[in-house]
Amino acid sequence: MVLHQPNAVDLHMHSIHSDGQLPVQAIIDFAANAGLRAISITDHDTVEGVEEAMQLGHENGLEVIAGIELSATIENRDIHILGYFFNHKDKNFLNRIAHFKNERYNRAEKMVRKLNNAGVKLQMDSVMEFAGQAAVGRPHIADAMVKHGFAESIEVAFRDYIGYGGIAYEDKFNITPEEAIRIIADAGGLSFLAHPSLHLKQKYLYQVIHSGISGIETIHPNHSENSSSYYKRIVLQHGLLESGGSDCHGRNGEINIGKYAVPYAAIEAMKQRLEKKAGVP
C-alpha cells in the first residue's frame, strides 16, 4: 500500500551495513527529499550505521530512530523481529548481535563449501567483496555467484542453490522470537513483528503476540490492502503498536523510501509506551 501523507515515517530499510546497497548518506538524502519526518535503518543483526544516520539526520532535520532486524525461528520458519528505540550502545546488546554477525559468517562459509562440493567453485573472498564489513547474508553469495558466472541471476542463485531446498542451503543460527524480543527489551527497546503477511501461519502469529511483542508491521510492500487491514485489526484487538516501512534495499536502482509509510503518530505511540514502561506520568 503506497501512502502519501504529511508527517510520514519509514521504519524499515537496509544499508550497506547488511544486505542493502545504499550508503547511510544516500538513505538520509532520499528520505529528506521524500519529505519524511523520521526513519529507522533496520539492518540485519548490526547497528553499525545507526550513529552515522543519527548525526546526518540531525544535520538534515530528519529524526532517526535506532533500529535493527533480528532473525528468529519457529518450527524452521523464519520470523523477523524489528527493534526500535533501544540503546544501540548497550554492551550486552552489542555482544549478542556481534555473536549473530559471526554466526552469519559461519553460515555463509558452510554454504560456500556446499557450493564447492556441488562443483560451484565460488570463493569466500568473492562473497566478502560484496559484504565488506557488513553482516554477510545470502544476497551477498548470490551477487558473487552472478558476478563469477555461476548463476544467471540472483533469482536463479536462490532458486537452484541457496534458497530453501537448494543444494547449498544452510539453516540459520536459531533463536526464538521470545529471545529476540527479550534482547531488544533488555536494551530498552520495543519489538515488532516484521511483514507478517509473508506466509505466516496464524498459530505463529499468536505465538509471537503471546511472547510479548510490542507491535506489528502493518504497512509493507508485500502487504495487500486486505492484509494491512487485517493486521491493523489485530493490533487494535491486542493493544499493540503499529509500524511500517518500505523495506528498501536499493537493489537494481529501486528506491522506494517513503512510498510505504505510517504517520508520525505511530512514533508518538511508541514513545508513549516507553514512557509508560519507565513510569513517566
Closest of 22, 131, 39, 33 to residue 82, by C-alpha: 39
Distance CA 258, CA 126 (A): 33
Examine residue 200 and state whether it is found in any structural domain, yes or no.
yes
Examine residue 191 and state whether it is found in any structural domain, yes or no.
yes
Give the domain CATH number at 250.
3.20.20.140
Cell triple for 278: 519507565
Distance CA 160, CA 149 (A): 14
Cell triple for 80: 523477523
Check residue 221 and give its pLDDT: 94
Examine residue 222 and state whether it is found in any structural domain, yes or no.
yes
Same structural domain for residues 187 and 57?
Answer: yes
**Domain tally for the chain?**
2
pLDDT exceeds cutoff 90 at 249: yes
> Across residues 249-269, what is the average pLDDT?
93
Contact between residue 254 and residue 31 where contact means Cβ atoms under 8 Å apart: no
Check residue 77 and give its pLDDT: 85
Q: How confident is the model at residue 280 (pLDDT cuts 50, 70, 90)?
A: confident
Tell me which residue range forms the domain holding 104. Answer: 96-162
Examine residue 122 and state whether it is found in any structural domain, yes or no.
yes
Q: Which of 131, 162, 193 is the C-terminal boundary of a domain?
A: 162
| Percentage of the chain lying above the pLDDT 90 cut | 87
Distance CA 116, CA 23 (A): 31
Check residue 124 and give its pLDDT: 97
- Bigger pLDDT: 83 or 280? 83
The string of pLDDT tens digits covering residues 133-192 is: 888 999 999 999 999 999 999 999 999 999 989 999 999 888 999 999 999 999 999 999
Q: How confident is the model at residue 199 (pLDDT cuts 50, 70, 90)?
A: low
The string of pLDDT tens digits covering residues 74-107 is: 988 889 999 999 999 999 999 999 999 999 999 9
pLDDT exceeds cutoff 50 at 2: no
| Burial (CB count within 10 angstroms: exposed 0-12, middle 13-18, buried 19+), residue 39 | buried
Q: How confident is the model at residue 61 (pLDDT cuts 50, 70, 90)?
A: very high
pLDDT exceeds cutoff 50 at 4: no
Q: How confident is the model at residue 6 (pLDDT cuts 50, 70, 90)?
A: low
Examine residue 167 and state whether it is found in any structural domain, yes or no.
no
pLDDT exceeds cutoff 80 at 281: no
Examine residue 113 and state whether it is found in any structural domain, yes or no.
yes
Same structural domain for residues 185 and 61?
Answer: yes
Check residue 166 and give its pLDDT: 95
CB atoms within 10 A of CB 42: 30
pLDDT exceeds cutoff 60 at 1: no
The rounded mean pLDDT for the chain is 94
HEC secondary structure over the chain: CCCCCCCEEECCECCCCCCCCCCHHHHHHHHHHCCCCEECCCCECCCCCHHHHHHHHHHCCCEECCEEEEEEEECCEEEEEEEECCCCCCHHHHHHHHHHHHHHHHHHHHHHHHHHHCCCCCCHHHHHHHHCCCCCCHHHHHHHHHHCCCCCCHHHHHHHHHCCCCCCCCCCCCCCHHHHHHHHHHCCCEEEECCCCCCCCHHHHHHHHHCCCCEEEEECCCCCHHHHHHHHHHHHHCCCEEEECCCECCHHHCCCCCCCCEECHHHHHHHHHHHHHCCCC
Check residue 170 and give its pLDDT: 94
Distance CA 255, CA 268 (A): 26
Same structural domain for residues 151 and 187?
Answer: no
